[in-house]
Structure formats: C-alpha cells, structure tokens
Amino acid sequence: MIDPRFYEALGPVTVRALAPSGEIGGDADRPVSGVASADRAGPGDLCYYEPKSKGAVALASSPAACVIAPALAHLAPNAAALILAERPRALFARLVPLLIRPRAVDGDSAIDPTARLEDNVRVAPGAVIGAGAQIGANSFVGPNAVIGPGVTIGRRARIGAGVCISFALIGDDANILAGAVIGEQGFGVAGDASGPVDVPHLGRVIIQDRVTIGANSCIDRGVFDDTTIAEDVKIDNLCHIAHNCSIGRGALIAAFAGISGSTTVGDGVTMGGRVGIADHRKIGKGATIAGGAAVFQDVPAGEVWSGYPAKPLRKWLREAAWLSRRAAGARDEGK
C-alpha cells in the first residue's frame, strides 16, 4: 500500500484514459486509483507483469488492472482490465505519474506550519522541514539539512549538515552524518524503444533505533516495499544501500561498501571496506565479508568470505597460495 504521508493519489483514472492509444482487454472503463506489485495489487490498483517479476501465482487470481505483454495475457485471467504492451515495465513507469505523485518540500517557510517538533529540538540555520514531518525531543537538525514531508524522526537524533531525508521513518538515537541522503529514488531503469525509462520508486526507508549512517552515504527507498535498517547498525562513510535491501541488527558496514537491490543482510554481519554485493543475495547471520570482496553468491551464516569473486576464506587462501607457487615455478623455468 502506498503511504499517503509521502505520496499523493491523483486518481481515480479509467484504464481507457491511462492508455488511450493502447490495446486494452477487459473493462476499459474500470477506474484505477493506486499502483502495486503484481503479488499485492487489489481491485483499484494498476500493476505490471514481466517474466522476471514476482507474483505469477498471485496474478492468476488478481482483480487488478495489469500491464502485460500480449503473449502473457493468459496469466491474468481474472484481471479487471489488461493494458497490452511489449515492454510492460516501461509502460507502467510512464503511467505511474498519472496516478501517484511524490510529496515534495513546498511553501514559503523553512519549517512548515504543520511540522511537529517536540521539546528541545534545535534547528540550525538553513535547515528545511516539510509538511507533516515529526521530530522527537532533544534532537538536532544541522545547517542546510532537508527533512521532507511526512518524515518521522525519533528522539535524541543528530542530523548532520546537508543531510537530505525523504520518504523515511527513523527511530530514536539516530546519528546521521553530514551529507547523507536517505530515501531518494534508486537505480531502476526499464528499456523502451525510445530509450531507457526511470521506474518510479513508491516505497519507504525504515530505520530503527541507534543507527549510525556515515557522511555522504546513500540509502534508497524501496520500489513498492521498504528498505529496512534494523537496530544498532553502523554504516561508515560513502556507502550505498540500494532499494528494497534489508540490513539486520548490529551489522557493521565499512566505507565504500555497495549493496545492490533486494539483498538481505543478516544480524551481526560485518563487511570490510569496498565490499560489493550483487542484487538479490542473502548474507547469513554473523557472516564476515573481507575488504574488497565482490559477492555474487549467497553467503551462509557465520562464514568468512574474501576475494573477487568472493568465496570461503580458506578456499580463497588455498587458491591464492597455489597461484603464487605456479607463478614462482614459471619464473624459475624462465631463467
């Protein structure tokens, strides 16, 4: 469900009005007012489906309007309406702004009159706080920070200079260092005949208590679901956590780490500097990823991985030693 604190519904709009020149199946006059993923869409929603999308089983019984390729239309027998397109994700991305609009900072005052600040909140010069935002007692908002509409920040938070927070709910005792950006749209692109299309992100960022986020780090909001950061996570400077990621309790993430979309990081995971993790991976509870490792596989709980591509540490060490011996032997033979 789209959170109305962060997104404004523009509908309802009929399916015919959404795609006046497109091929439509079913009830073209069906009103649509929301958007959702294929596995969660209800009667008043618009969704899309492609072969790599999740939700094929749910789509079979879904009453939503669906953007789908003609060859796959049989997968949505109960859809109220179908908008047929060879590139469903790209067309869906173009239709979303007709139904949903992200709320943005607006108005003439630095602190919107509808914002709620509890006792002893200090706001430095140049900071902007949007409509409906809430900030807990004894918090500090640094110079030129921007707190977007609807954002909630708990008590005793420290928001550094130039921090930008949008589409986010943040717990108590957060420490967000200068220049961090939380809740911006992530990197979602759909191919289209006219060129790449940005896919709208309509989720949130949920950050729980006692989380530290380093300077100039970025945490992207989810596409439909949320990006979540659990309690006591410590994120170093210049890190990136992409959309729909889930970071478990007490995880430690060193500088320059990059975690691709829809990756799950378990409780107590430690990542060294410059770690890169591919999308849709699972890093098990208590695992350690050595600095500079590139992870393309799921990592079991408690294991230590290293290397490029990353693998269990003992295996990586054996392979590195073998290569070293072979290289030394080749040099000796060449003398």
Provide the annotated active-site residues: 243
The three-point CA angle 55-60-63 to 5° equals 100
Q: How far is CA 302 from CA 198, 240, 285, 334, in A?
A: 37, 23, 6, 43
Q: Is 139 helix (H, G, I), strand (E, B) or coil?
A: coil
User: At which residue do the structure tokens 């004894």 appear?
Assistant: 138
Paired sense of beta strands 81-84 and 128-129, if any? unpaired
Distance from C-alpha of 243 to C-alpha of 237, rounded to nearest angstrom: 18
* Residues β-bridged to residue 213: 176, 235
Question: Largest Cα–Cα distance of the chain, in whole Å?
Answer: 82
Q: What one-letter code names the amino acid at 116?
A: R
Q: What one-letter code names the amino acid at 329?
A: G
Neighbours of 308 (CB within 10 A): 12
Q: How far is CA 296 from CA 68, 150, 282, in A?
A: 30, 36, 10
**How many residues does this entry show for the chain?**
335
Distance from C-alpha of 229 to C-alpha of 248, rounded to nearest angstrom: 7
